[in-house]
Amino acid sequence: MDKYGITSSNTAQIFNIYPRKGSISVGADADLVLWDPNATRIISAKTHHQNVDFNVFEGMQVQGLARSTLSQGKLVWHDGDLRAIRGAGRYIPRPCFSPVFNAVLKQNARNAPMPVARI
């Protein structure tokens, strides 16, 4: 895994949906975001696709923008043009207790405080 996919992969593993999500591989869902690391813009509630009239980051300039988003292999966003189709999403089952959860339990058990026998 290269440094560019690590956030998606780690998150998908934590939520127990890896490798269907968070992986660029055969059989995965083909959900990708293409970033332009040099682009900048000012955050504003007026330009968001949300049903709110405020943004806590209003007026902040950010660098790095999503230029295109693919969901299930279909282009759903491109340079400000939302192309998503209502109802195209689907439920992704998430089994409880992912391998990451079990690994954390084992690590916590190994690092738990141990009593010291006193004479």
User: What pLDDT shows up at residue 6?
Assistant: 63
- What are the extents of the domains in the chain? 1-29, 31-84
Q: How far is CA 36 from CA 39, 46, 55, 85, 110, in A?
A: 6, 22, 23, 24, 43
Tokens coding 52: 């709110």
pTM (2 d.p.): 0.65
The position carrying tokens 């109802």 is 87
6-13 CB contacts, 8 Å cutoff, 24+ apart:
13/98, 13/99, 13/100
User: What pLDDT shows up at residue 4?
Assistant: 54
User: pLDDT, tens digit, for every residue of 58-112?
Assistant: 999 999 999 999 998 899 999 989 898 999 888 988 888 778 788 889 999 999 9
User: pLDDT, tens digit, for every residue of 19-43?
Assistant: 889 888 898 888 888 999 999 999 9
Fold of 31-84: Urease, subunit C; domain 1 (2.30.40)
User: What pLDDT shows up at residue 5?
Assistant: 57
